[in-house]
């Protein structure tokens, strides 16, 4: 009997772990305010979701510490805002180059603290983070050309709150345009994934960014609330849940502060019978199982034309059987750990509701690790529009399959949600792509692909997915006063 016959027909992947030795964590982190580290009066422990291993003690920002950060940013603003735009651009270029040079460290830390596969951190998050700083460095001295017939001026101090699904990338989406426009920043990372933001402070040190231009205060929702409410903040940028976004909007109503919100989504991935089926299946998998489904624009609703529905579902189930779930630091891993126990509980609760309402669940055979937070890639068929799994954002590796007969029905079903962040269309007909894109109420519509991002392309949503845009020239406008 040959060795291959002994192991059967399955070809197993040998473990390919990325070394943790490249990242040196401190036992305790404070807040980065005014270009230096300040000890935190309160702390909490951040963990690795794949193993529940404690990683570091991190500061729980108080109102006084938020105030110190805002004061530092306010003091730095007159100098930074008056700096020659070409000089500001140099700092952004430096930051981008350092992100590239230290990308391996940052990718390991991102996967360790967030649970996402290392190949995603390495090949998606880090290159895009650096690209955003390069892109906005290029615009820093061209603002009058970007916004003709106006005199662009910075707003002042930007308070920025980012989520846990793309910690470093969201940081770059927010800090890069703010600095290019001449603003100073106080940023609060998500409480479960603060480590790459704290590591970014060393990038700022290397780039010799003037003190106070970027300040980072860690903590939970209480820290974020103190930042939003602070009278020294001129503009608030928030990415996160729709519920919190609504609360922030109510809080800021009538204050005169600028606000942009990038909130939840329930994207429809619409597949027509004339598409390239195997390509579409790969796009479906990328659309929902990328980053464990922790993506606001995830294609969590799959709309299949009836004539190909059974064929696509069969292909999709076979493809799910090849996905590797496990250690985020293993280069072979396709689906990593769920970010937190709280998020895992939410996913389980919504999946249970889908089964109770009558949907048919499919999960491939896979052995989940005993420690950590894990959920197998999941597909629901026989889903009705009224089911919670078809209406509520699950933010996990769970796909709901619905069917349609005509393009008009597809549009009606795709738009039948409170959200409007993204959508996908799979067809060989260019005219159909344009017809669908015109009618889909989504800020981003991908054609024969999904989850593709570029710093020059604006991103944002409608309705309960928020307002304002990030990326491109549209991402600069919220940080500028465009007076005559």
Say which range, 4-8, 72-76, 305-309, has the weakest mean pLDDT: 4-8
Contact by Cβ (8 Å): 453, 470? no
Q: Which helix (H) or strand (E) holds 444?
A: strand 444-447
> What's the pLDDT tens digit per position in 20-71?
899 999 999 999 999 999 999 999 999 999 999 999 999 999 999 999 999 9
User: What does the angle CA 134 – CA 156 – CA 261 come to, to the nearest 5 degrees?
Assistant: 70
What pLDDT, on the 0 to 100 scale, is given for residue 11?
66
- Candidates 416, 172, 439, 465; CA nearest to 298 is 465
Task: Tell whether the model's pLDDT for residue 147 goes beyond 70.
Answer: yes
Q: Which of 201, 275, 296, 297 is catalytic?
A: 296
Report the DSSP beta bridge partners of residue 36.
Answer: 33
What are the DSSP calls for 199-255, one per residue?
HHHHHHHHHTPPTTSEEE---SHHHHHHHHH-TT-SEEEEES-HHHHHHHHHHHTTS
Cα distance between residue 374 and residue 368, in whole Å: 7
> What's the pLDDT tens digit per position in 349-406?
999 999 999 999 999 998 899 999 999 999 999 999 999 999 999 999 999 999 999 9
Does the annotation count 357 as an active-site position? no
What pLDDT, on the 0 to 100 scale, is given for residue 248?
95
- Candidates 168, 11, 29, 9; CA nearest to 99 is 168
pLDDT tier at 479, thresholds 50, 70, 90: very high
Q: Which residues contact 358 (CB under 8 A, 6 or more apart)?
A: 382, 384, 387
Does the annotation count 392 as an active-site position? no
> What's the pLDDT tens digit per position in 270-295?
999 999 999 999 999 999 999 999 99
Q: Which residues contact 138 (CB under 8 A, 6 or more apart)?
A: 89
What are the structure tokens assigned to 278, written together? 């195997």
Q: Which of 110, 262, 393, 464 is catalytic?
A: 262
What are the structure tokens assigned to 400, written together? 């709901």
> What's the pLDDT tens digit per position in 330-354?
999 999 999 999 999 999 999 999 9
User: What does the angle CA 215 – CA 124 – CA 224 come to, to the nearest 5 degrees?
Assistant: 30
> What's the pLDDT tens digit per position in 412-464?
999 999 999 999 999 999 999 999 999 999 999 999 999 999 999 999 998 99
pTM, 2 dp: 0.93
Share of the chain above pLDDT 70, in %: 98
What are the E-state strand segments in 88-170?
151-154, 157-161
What pLDDT, on the 0 to 100 scale, is given for residue 4?
47
């Amino acid at each position: 009997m040959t060795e291959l016959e002994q192991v059967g027909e399955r070809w197993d992947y040998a473990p390919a772990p990325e070394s943790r030795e490249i990242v040196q964590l401190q036992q305790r982190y404070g807040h980065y305010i005014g270009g230096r580290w300040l000890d935190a009066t309160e702390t909490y422990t951040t963990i690795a979701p794949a193993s529940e291993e404690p990683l570091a003690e991190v500061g729980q920002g108080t109102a006084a510490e938020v105030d110190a950060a805002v004061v530092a940013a306010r003091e730095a603003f007159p100098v930074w805002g008056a700096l020659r735009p070409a000089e500001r651009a140099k700092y952004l270029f430096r930051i981008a180059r350092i992100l590239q040079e230290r990308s391996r460290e940052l990718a390991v830390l991102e996967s360790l603290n967030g649970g996402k596969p290392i190949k995603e951190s390495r090949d998606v998050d880090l290159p895009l983070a650096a690209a955003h700083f390069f892109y906005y460095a290029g615009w820093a001295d061209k603002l009058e050309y970007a916004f003709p017939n106006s005199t662009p001026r910075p707003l002042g101090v930007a308070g920025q709150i980012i989520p846990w699904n793309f910690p470093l990338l969201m940081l770059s989406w927010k800090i890069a345009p703010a600095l290019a426009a001449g603003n100073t920043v106080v940023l609060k990372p998500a409480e479960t994934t603060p480590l790459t933001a704290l590591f970014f402070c060393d990038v700022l040190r290397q780039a010799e960014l003037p003190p106070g231009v970027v300040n980072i205060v860690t903590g939970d929702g209480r820290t974020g609330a103190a930042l939003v409410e602070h009278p020294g903040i001129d503009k608030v940028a928030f990415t996160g849940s729709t519920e919190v976004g609504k609360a922030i909007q109510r809080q800021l109503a009538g204050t005169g502060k600028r606000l942009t919100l990038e909130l939840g989504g329930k994207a429809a991935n619409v597949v027509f019978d004339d598409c390239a089926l195997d390509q579409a299946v790969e796009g479906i998998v990328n659309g929902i199982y990328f980053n464990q489904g922790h993506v606001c624009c995830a294609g969590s609703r799959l709309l299949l034309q009836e004539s190909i529905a059974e064929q696509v579902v069969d292909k999709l189930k076979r493809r799910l059987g090849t996905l590797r779930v496990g250690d985020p630091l293993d280069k072979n891993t396709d689906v990593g750990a769920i970010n937190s126990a709280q998020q895992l509980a939410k996913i389980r609760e919504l999946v249970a509701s889908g089964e109770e309402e009558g949907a048919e669940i499919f999960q491939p055979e896979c052995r989940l690790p005993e420690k950590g937070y894990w959920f197998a890639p999941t597909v629901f068929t026989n889903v009705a529009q009224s089911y919670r799994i078809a209406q509520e954002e699950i933010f996990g590796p769970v796909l709901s399959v619905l069917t349609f007969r005509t393009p008009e029905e597809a549009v009606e079903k795709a738009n039948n949600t409170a959200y409007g962040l993204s959508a996908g269309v799979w067809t060989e007909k260019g005219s159909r792509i344009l017809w669908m894109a015109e009618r889909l109420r989504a800020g981003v519509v991908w054609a024969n692909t999904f989850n593709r991002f570029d710093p020059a392309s604006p991103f944002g949503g409608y309705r309960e997915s928020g307002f304002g845009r990030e990326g491109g020239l549209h991402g600069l406008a919220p940080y500028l006063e465009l007076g005559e």
